[in-house]
Amino acid sequence: MIAACAFATSVAAQDPQLPHLPAPPPLHLVSKSDRSQLDDTRDSKTRLRTTMTLATDHLERAEKFTNDRNFAEASSELGAYLGLIGDLRDYVKSLDANKGSTRDICRHFEMEVRPHIPRLALIQRTTPASYVRNIKDAEDFIKDTRAEALDFFYGHSVLREPPPENNPGPTAGGAKSSPTEKPLAPASGGPKDPAQPKRP
């Protein structure tokens, strides 16, 4: 009996522990139910509002499942959240960039996703190592989304200085004088050359 226990202990000691493999990344998908609500929207403002409402709901469920230590379900909800954000990014890109309403959509889009970044960081703190990479990727995705919206908004609103005009190069007959340069001439009442003799 003692020999059997010693053998089992020896085998267990020789059996190397398998490393924790990273969890697969969540699929960025929009569910049929969410897609149906998006398809019912009639304008860009309603599309933005509906998308962000649905996305925030999925983010809240991801937070709840993380607190309950149900990390597989939390990852699934995170994928649904990212799928909606990515869908809205593609939708905004399809709008007319020259319209002021499109710039307004980008501004509100940035304002909506900005508070999600610290929430994702908080999820990451309470997530096991095998899921941390997925949370970090989600945070980077939202940061890129925010930067893209800001670039679009400011790229169409900031007044830029016109580029400087190129100075014309020298012509075949030689370089031209600058328009501000004038030929020097002696003043009418100025002193004459001292080497010139005075007339009687």
Which of 38, 41, 124, 150 shows the shortest CA–CA distance to 84? Answer: 38
Between 50-59, 113-122, 143-152, the lowest mean confidence (pLDDT) is in: 143-152
Q: Which two tokens stand for residue 6?
A: 């010693």
d(CA 28, CA 87): 9
Model confidence, pTM: 0.68
d(CA 87, CA 47): 11
> What's at 69, amino acid-wise?
R
Task: For the chain, give every domain's residue range.
Answer: 29-155
Residue 96: the pLDDT is 86
Between 103-107, 110-114, 189-193, the lowest mean confidence (pLDDT) is in: 189-193
Q: Which two tokens stand for residue 164?
A: 């400087």
CA distances 61 to 54, 79, 99, Å, are 11, 11, 36
Q: With bands split at pLDDT 50, 70 and 90, how would you rate the model's confidence at 191? A: very low
Between 3-17, 62-76, 143-157, the lowest mean confidence (pLDDT) is in: 3-17
**pLDDT tens digits, residue range 27-79?**
999 999 999 999 999 999 999 999 999 999 999 999 999 999 999 999 999 99
Phi, psi of 174 (to 5 degrees): 125, 170
